[in-house]
Chains A and B, each alone.
Chain A
Amino acid sequence: MRPLPAFLGVFTLLAAAPALAGTDYPLALDNCGVSLSLPAAPKRVVAIRSTSTEMLLALGLGERIVGVAFQDGLAPEPWTAQSAALPVLSEKLPSPEVVLEAEPDLVYAGWESNFSIEGVGERATLGALGVATYVSPAACRSIVPPKLSFEAVFAEIAEVGAMFDVEDAAKALVAEQRAELAGITPDRRGLTALWYSSGGKAPYVGAGRNAPQMMLEALGLENIFADVDDGWISASWEAVVDADPDIIVLVDGERNSVAQKKALLAENPITSQLDAVMHQRYLVVPFAAAEAGVSNVPATRDMAAQLAGLSITP
């Protein structure tokens, strides 16, 4: 089993943390199969994708962000105002030059693919220039991360806390989220759900390995694509209609809003036949909360409240 060593690592880290006064630098880390060594806590960070920005803000590291790029929108409360003040390097993926101009000592990316020649630059190239790189472990592609769990999300919080020498803040955040998660009662009605991210012709949906599955499990909902061993897939509408989910989770993107998705589902002669569409049984999740990060737990709690409000007669 792959997950075990990772979990052991997390527990060692968590267990070891109280014994130490702080992080010992240089700090060696394995991140998506790349070993990196931090000589000191990063002071100038560029955050690519919203999950990275939110993680840093949640750990009280907003002061160290020298630039953000490729954001899905502003961070949720209570960091909205703070995120609005951050310098935006680029709406899309920035080029290496734009990133280097901000003189970061760390680039923290939400997707491993952000580090490419077409994007921010290769990790090795940036490393040679003295810029450390870090990818949200759940988004690793070059090594296959274990099926995502909340423990893995908490491990990322702890790891980032260690990197920045803010372990107390990380511990507090994990404790808070753990408590919040414990307060969520899974639905016991045996309902099925479709996690609908985007797409008209072939819907892009949450499958069995990543944040969608993790959150649906916490909600007590059975993902109709739980058996597909992938994070997200382009599914066929026929498979969706065949499964006829009780509930549809709509991902609220800036460009691809919930209102648009509802309209599309209601107008389409196929999807309009679905029970969930006919009875308007939707749960809404913010775009950034649909990927592993600090927003997963609050979003799950929020969805649990939405779910409790839906009356469903099978």
Chain B
Amino acid sequence: MSGGLDIAGMSVRAGGRLLLDRVDFTAARGAVTGLIGPNGAGKSTLMRAFLGLMPKVEGRVCFNGADLLAMPGRTRAQLAAFVEQSGSTDARLTARDVVLLGRIPFQSLWQSGPSPEDARIAWEALDAVAMGDFAGRLYHTLSGGEQQRVQIARALAQQPQLLVLDEPTNHLDIQAQLATLTLLRRLAAAGATVVVALHDLNLAAGFCDHLVVLNAARLAAAGPPESVLTPALLRDIYQVEAVVLTHPQTGRPMLAYGSPTISAVPPQ
């Protein structure tokens, strides 16, 4: 494969409990890889683990030929950006200040402030998430969705080759959800490796090139959406009945959920 993320034998233990059990998966460069699975399956843990943000991690993480866990944190931060699930703060920072945090890995210790280059990159990142008008607003006065977009802009300001996002569509209205995922597709098309945890399976099916399914700390399935998202898998992992349809315009899979209690056909 031509670069991207390659993870093998990833295990994480905490307090005698296995949070991750020998997980292997790959995320290709230029593609959006979706990480799905029920709550508590280990999606957030997996992302922190392969980004080197957790202690006591076993396993090998190879990104574009380099060992991601072995490199200094600063070097890693120049390659990989992470958007956490909820970014809250008491700090008095404007949206622009928050986006400029993404330039920290590139600034020397002696630098007195953001360079004009940093400022330009920050503006571009804010524009990319359509938050340019909010640059001067204090972060903690923004809505949840606006904060989420500012966090994505911060990650963009790191100009990452690997972009990892934990539930980035939380708090967003449908228009913003679609805009965000479209943005991720554009970044992937430009050559980035994108790994995104999603709980909306229709979004995952509609926007991801590749899906990795986690269940109870283990890898349950991996592959293109149309081969992973089967009624059997959904019944197994989520305990839901669903019909897999095909999107009339995109040709991608779509899920229509059924339920034993609201069945279209009345029981005999």
A adjacent to B, CB under 8 Å? no
Give chain A's interface residues, CB within 8 Å of chain B.
none
